[in-house]
Chains A and B, each alone.
Chain A
Amino acid sequence: MADNKLDIKAFLDKDEQKDLLRLLTAGSVDDGKSTLIGRLLFDSKKLYEDQLDALERDSKRVGNAGEHIDYALLLDGLKAEREQGITIDVAYRYFSTNGRKFIIADTPGHEQYTRNMITGGSTANLAIILVDARTGVITQTRRHTFLVSLLGIKHVVLAVNKMDLVDFSEERFNEIVADYKKFVTPLGIPDVNCIPLSALDGDNVVDKSERTPWYKGISLLDFLETVHIDNDHNFADFRFPVQYVLRPNLDFRGFCGKVASGIVRKGDTVMALPSGKTSKVKSIVTYDGELDYAFPPQSVTLTLEDEIDVSRGEMLVHPDNLPTVDRNFEAMMVWMDEEPMDINKSFFIKQTTNLSRTRIDTIKYKVDVNTMEHLSLENGQLTKETLPLQLNQIARVVLTTAKELFFDPYKKNKSCGSFILIDPITNNTSAVGMIIDRVEMKDMSDTEDVPVLDMTKLGIVPEHYEAVEKAVKELERQGFAVRLIK
């Protein structure tokens, strides 16, 4: 008994040190995705007996896996899905191995649900893309891979499933890999691995299979356990979007937030954006004591040596490493709303903790996710009527925001290059985007500026400037920019 107790303590101590890998699985109903996830959960002993009982019962009743346990029944949680036999939304699954914890975002494969795959993939370190060995790389594979590259996921596993149905043929596997490589290379995903497997029988899922002696790589689970993800964060460019200002008493003013990127140390000189005022980091406060330095994705509270005014939506950075500060930028945008884009509408944009109003300046081109073709007004593939984005469509756009945003290209910095658009009437998240870069004012098609308040012209006397500035600042916080002239 004493030994046993020691074991559990050792287990917990080890468990405490595990890191976390978030992964996305993409594939169609027929690729055996649910079976693969079911097996990962099953073989890592996550399924409890009562869930298994229910599963066996349901498999016999409504299963689609013949003699085998139908894992899909376990994963497809919502009643509507059980009835339709498809996964309609992102579902999150959890399992762990000796070295790592995993969060799986399980997303459906069919076209109308691109938005769910984008949702599931936004936080993923790694994507598993399933193909059926019999059909190989199909339109859907290309679509999923394109979306994965758009989201900046750095690690991709092409899981060539159902190898049992092609007699574990090396030739067939190589053919699929060659096909895939041709397509994936130009997308610039840094780490791509291809693994032959049979999810149903378990070949190369947890253990290496004897039925693929020609395969020199490791099993899927081994790969997931060992893939190096430490460098997936940006540690170079310090960005600290202020989330909440903490003032428990007159002596303490802390700026709460999550380190979006880079590293901050006690004593560092920091600059507040947009004011440009600088100060030094006095302390990095947490409930568990002060830290000497902080890095992403830690949530901390910074205090500064000087009393400078910083509010939510503003940003602390190192003065020698600034983000882009601009109101005009280009982005890849995915339309997530059932309601098509109204190109004349003004939306709310949320980027880091910053909220502003925005309008769509230009739609440069749409991307056909099946062929990667660019469709635009110029090449005649779009008309004025087909230009506005519809659900699941992707386009390169130029946006203009009411106030300046502090951003980096998404490729360099996910946290500071991503945004959502919110419909001001329905409050739906209408679109999501990944910033490419700023756009010069001269390249904007619409150069209409923000409203101007000229205080001298209006006869406002200087003693009221502070009050007006305060009001303008509050408007800005709510997303309405006004240019103030003294």
Chain B
Amino acid sequence: MEEYKLSHLKELEAESIHIIREVAAEFENPVMLYSIGKDSSVMVRLAEKAFAPGKVPFPLMHIDSKWKFKEMIQFRDEYAKKYGWNLIVESNMEAFQAGVGPFTHGSKVHTDLMKTQALLQALDKYKFDAAFGGARRDEEKSRAKERIFSFRDKFHQWDPKNQRPELWDIYNARVHKGESIRVFPISNWTELDIWQYIRLENIPIVPLYYAKERPVINLDGNIIMADDERLPEKYRDQIEMKMVRFRTLGCWPLTGAVESGAATIEEIVEEMMTTTKSERTTRVIDFDQEGSMEQKKREGYF
């Protein structure tokens, strides 16, 4: 007998593909923002699926804060080349040349200038009217309330109290000149769904997600990897080798590792099922101030 039933993953996949195609059809100049993380990797694969056997009709853009892990950059370039993506890389060069970085300016200033401002500059430069992001609603409380098509005004700001109603699968894609929509096609996926999908679809991910002996230091309770020579002198004699992996990826001085022996997806999932810390605790930036993610989102950060 034929079955007319989808598993939850197939249903989520179908929903995401529908969203991605809707954007390609309704906007003049969309872009997919690529963080090189596992969620982005799934989103990118979903875009490839949406337009197969054709090419994806929009570019991929990475906002390089200049402090990303080396392995991330290498992975990014190899992936884009292998799968034929048009890759745009943008940075806030002015701030970079002025020497802005997390060790000298702190996480708040660094994140604002090298991530948020860099993103806003890039969006203005290319005049994108829609930008895909790989955020999930189960990540953080303010994200749980964001629409799939999330309106941004001319200043790229999000107004959580004034969101467009979003019903069924009918998305309102209309914007005036200068305004834009952030689109979150994997809003309804959970962390476990992402891992499960990576496993089933054999989606390549940055090796930093898997446990390995890596040079790390303890920085205010976070396990920070010594990824390049910009680690300040004073920490260098504290470097030790530890079996660690990363649950999220970002700027290396701001992304804490977890001690782990999980070297396969199965082991990662097992660790996740038994872990007692939620994913974002390894993100230093979330703890800057109360309601800090909401604040960042209002200002234009993802």
Interface residues of A (CB under 8 A from B): 4-5, 8-9, 11-12, 15-20, 48-51, 74-75, 77-80, 82, 88-94, 96, 100-101, 103, 115-116, 118-119, 122-123, 230, 233, 235, 243-244, 246-248, 252, 254, 256-258, 263, 285-288, 293, 295, 297-299, 301, 312, 336, 348, 350-353, 414-415, 418-420, 422, 427-429, 432
Contacts and interface: CB of A to CB of B under 8 A. Distances in A.
Interface in B171-211: 172, 174-176, 179, 187-188, 190, 192-193, 196, 199-200
B201 to A, nearest CB: 9
Contacts of B161: 80, 88-89
Nearest to B8: A20
Contact of A92 (B144, B168, B176): B144
A152 to B, nearest CB: 11
A6 B98 CA distance: 53
Q: Determine the main DSSP class of A at the interface with B.
A: mixed
B276 A118 contact: no
Given A89-B145, A295-B4, A348-B174, A123 B14 contact: no
A419 B199 CA distance: 37
A420 B170 contact: yes
A414 B170 CA distance: 11
B15 A420 contact: no
A243 B18 contact: yes
A19 B164 contact: no
Given A118-B167, A263-B4, A92 B188 contact: yes
A235 B18 contact: no
B12 interface: yes
Contacts of B12: 20
B291 interface: yes
A427 B175 contact: yes
B169 interface: yes
Contacts of A352: 170
A9 B8 contact: no
Contacts of A20: 8, 11-12
A78 B13 CA distance: 28
Nearest to B164: A429
A256 B57 CA distance: 14
Nearest to B52: A287
A336 B163 contact: no
18 contacts: A8-B269, A19-B8, A20-B12, A77-B142, A77-B294, A78-B142, A78-B145, A92-B137, A101-B193, A118-B167, A230-B5, A233-B4, A243-B25, A248-B54, A263-B4, A297-B169, A299-B13, A299-B21
Nearest to A229: B5
A46 to B, nearest CB: 9
B51 interface: yes
A80 B145 contact: no
Contacts of B278: 48, 50-51
B234 interface: no
Given A286-B52, A312-B25, A94 B190 contact: yes
Contact of B169 (A91, A100, A415): A415
B55 A248 contact: yes
A169 to B, nearest CB: 36
A257 B17 CA distance: 9
Max chain A Cβ within 10 angstroms of own Cβ: one of B11, B169, B190, B276: B169
B7 A16 contact: yes
Contact of B14 (A49, A91, A258): A258
Interface in B1-60: 2, 4-15, 17-18, 21-22, 24-25, 48-55
Given A78-B294, A94-B137, A420-B172, A16 B196 contact: yes
A287 B165 contact: no
Complex A-B, nearest 5 residue pairs according to Cβ-Cβ distance, in ascending order: A77-B141, A248-B54, A49-B276, A20-B8, A287-B49
Nearest to B53: A248
A143 to B, nearest CB: 18
B49 A286 contact: yes
Contacts of A422: 172, 174
A108 B190 CA distance: 23
B125 interface: no
B170 A350 contact: yes
A82 B263 CA distance: 41
Contacts of B193: 101
B221 to A, nearest CB: 13
B275 interface: yes
A394 to B, nearest CB: 14
A243 B188 contact: no
Given A93-B138, A122-B167, A353-B22, 20 more contacts: A19-B8, A48-B276, A48-B278, A50-B277, A77-B140, A89-B161, A115-B165, A243-B18, A246-B51, A248-B55, A258-B14, A258-B18, A285-B52, A286-B49, A287-B48, A299-B21, A352-B170, A353-B25, A419-B170, A422-B174
